[in-house]
Structure 1
Amino acid sequence: MKTLAFASALALAAGIASAQDVVRMGTEGGYPPYSFINDAGEPDGFEIELGNALCERAGLTCQWVTNEWDSIIPNLVSGNYDTIMAGMNITPERDEVIDFTQDYIPATPSSYVGLSADVDPAGAVVAAQATTIQASHVAGTGATLLEYATQEEAVAAMRNGEADAVFADTDFLAPIVESSGGELTFIGEPVPLGGGMAMGLRESDAELRARFDEAISAMKADGSLNELLAKWFAEDAPGY
């Protein structure tokens, strides 16, 4: 009986440990190549592949959860998942609400795109995704800002004439411009914003953040993070 009781206790403890090793990873799933939903209906992209690699190195199991961008931080804080990997730049405003790992994408520029290179962004109607650093930047330029729930909706607004230009991460816009057959063009010079992209966590999860920081450092050190950046962005993508 004691042996059975002891075995049951070990099994229960193992089950609890296993449950604790599952980390729910929040992502938008609508921001290629960072994250998107593939043809099989599953989250895919740079951050999904990176997140799975980081979990493996940290001895954790990733469980991906998709969430709309405008509520992605509140749902992290509320405990609906444990991390955010969604093309999120480190900013002082966000850092007051949540914690961040070290960056896994260096600070990269944002750009304006429109139907004509003659558009002056300072006096234009500019579309951007709501609650992003791009929307905040546009709001401070004197341009008329139109905010949309997703990046795709912001691009569509520019295409159909609701806005003169769209402002977003250059890496997101580049393949859209390239595949437009000359319809779309970059406007002006890229604009550096943010402190790099990183994983967001609750401020109370310092131990989990440390485990992911260690894994990110290891991937930087052995070159595997640079390999992923080159795979999903470009061979000459900024790296570490």
Structure 2
Amino acid sequence: MKKLILGTAALALSAGMALAQDVVRLGTEGAYPPYNFINDAGEVDGLERELGDELCKRAELTCTWVTNDWDSIIPNLVSGNYDTIIAGMSITPEREEVVAFTQPYTPPSLSSYAALSDEVDLEGGVISAQTGTIQANHVVDTGATLLEYPTSDECVAAVRNGEADAVLADKDVLVPIVNEGDMVFVGEDTPLGNGIGMAFRKSDPELKDKFDAAIQSMKDDGTMNALIIKWLGEDSPRW
């Protein structure tokens, strides 16, 4: 934490305000469908691609997309490799110590367990979760054995190949996987986090405010709920 804070301070003078740039760089993972993924054309796609493009239009900003591995996505924002994170990131007090969040663009979603059968021990078994997520922290809190992987796909694969008893992830992410037929939801759904928002360097409050206003405008005119229904389904929480 000390190194991160010192690094942030050192960058304050060199990075400058993102608004001074010609192009605002949107950082995402590109590996967390349906929120963000890389399509067959090699382009960022998903709810957050459509959302990010619309927010930039409403904020009258020219934007481009950058992909980054999840486990280093916050450090690379702080280092100035892009100007915001829009990557299915839940708002948590721990993350707010390092970055500044907009208001959430999706309400707190349920997290769910999925397994090959409903006869699994969720508290005493081995549970896979993506590294650095609120789900991984929750697994530790339950007393189960945590098995972490860099991507959600690897977490699911760990269950299918027998390395883990179940996977814990956003239910929105697991629904299409369970619908494939070889896995089932087990246990109870758990609400985690304070919704998903965009993250910014704390030195860029003006840029954050522009996106905040654009998010609010999409909530006000109903287009945010329409995006949630389109990408996450009718059962997903919405505004």
TM-score, normalised on structure 2?
0.91
User: C-alpha deviations, 1:191-228, integer Å up to 9, x for none?
Assistant: 11000000000011000011001000100000011111
Query: Counterpart in 2 of 1:128?
Result: 129
How far apart, in 2, do the equivalents of 1:169 and 1:237 lie?
A: 11
Gapped regions of structure 1 (runs ≥ 5):
1-16
The residue that corresponds to 1:6 in the other structure is none
Q: CA deviation at 1:21?
A: 4.0
CA shift at 1:19, angstroms?
A: 7.0
Q: How many positions carry a matched residue from both structures?
A: 222
Please tell me whether the aligned partners of residues 111 and 187 of structure 1 are also in contact (alpha carbons under 8 angstroms): yes
Cα drift, residue 233 of structure 1 = 1.1
Match of 1:100 in 2: 101
Offset of residue 84 of structure 1: 0.3
Q: Which amino acid aligns with 2:215?
A: I
1:63 match: 64
1:117 matched to which residue of 2? 118
Question: Per the alignment, do residues 134 and 208 of structure 1 end up closer, same or farther by CA in structure 2, a change over 3 Å counting?
Answer: same
Alpha-carbon separation, structure 2, partners of 1:233 and 1:165: 22
Question: Is residue 227 from structure 1 mapped to residue 226 from structure 2 by the alignment?
Answer: yes
Aligned residue in 1 for 2:237: 238
Change (3 A) 1:144 1:236: closer
Aligned to 2:21: 20
Aligned to 1:138: 139
1:1-240 pair list within 5 angstroms? 20-179=21-180, 181=181, 183-240=182-239
Q: Distance in 2 between matches of 1:141 and 1:84?
A: 29
User: C-alpha distance in 2, partners of 1:101/1:163?
Assistant: 35
Counterparts of 1:76 and 1:158 in 2: how far apart (Å)? 32
State the one-letter code of the partner of 2:185.
Answer: F
Deviations 1:61-100, CA, capped at 9 Å, x for gaps: 1210000000000000000000001100000000000000
> Matches of 1:168 and 1:18 in 2, distance apart?
34
The residue type equivalent to 1:49 in the other structure is: E
- Deviation string 1:135-169 (CA, Å, 9 cap, x unpaired) is 00001111000100111111100100001001100
1:20 offset after TM fit, Å?
2.2
Give the structure 1 partner of residue 8 of structure 2: none
Equivalent AA in structure 2 for residue 216 of structure 1:
I
Larger strand percent: 1
| Alpha-carbon displacement from aligned partner over 1:22-74 (angstroms, at most 9, x marks no partner) | 11000000000000000000000000100000000001012100000000000
Question: Which structure 1 residue ranges, 4+ long, deviate > 6 Å from structure 2?
Answer: none
Instruction: Give the match's secondary structure for 1:166.
Output: strand
Task: State which structure, 1 or 2, has the greater radius of gyration over its C-alpha atoms.
Answer: 1
| 1:170-207 deviations in Å (ceiling 9; x for gaps) | 0000100001x2x2110111011000000000011000
The answer as to whether partners of 1:21 and 1:59 remain within 8 angstroms in 2 is no
Deviation at 1:237, TM superposition (A): 2.7
State the distance in 2 between where 1:129 and 1:200 align: 19
- In the alignment, which residue of structure 1 is the partner of 2:7? none
Q: Identity over the aligned pairs, expressed in percent?
A: 65
Counterpart CA distance in 1 for 2:19 and 2:60 is 10
> What is the CA-CA distance between 1:18 and the residue it aligns to?
9.6
The answer to whether the 8 A contact 1:230-1:237 is kept is: yes
CA contact (8 A) 1:128 1:148 kept: yes
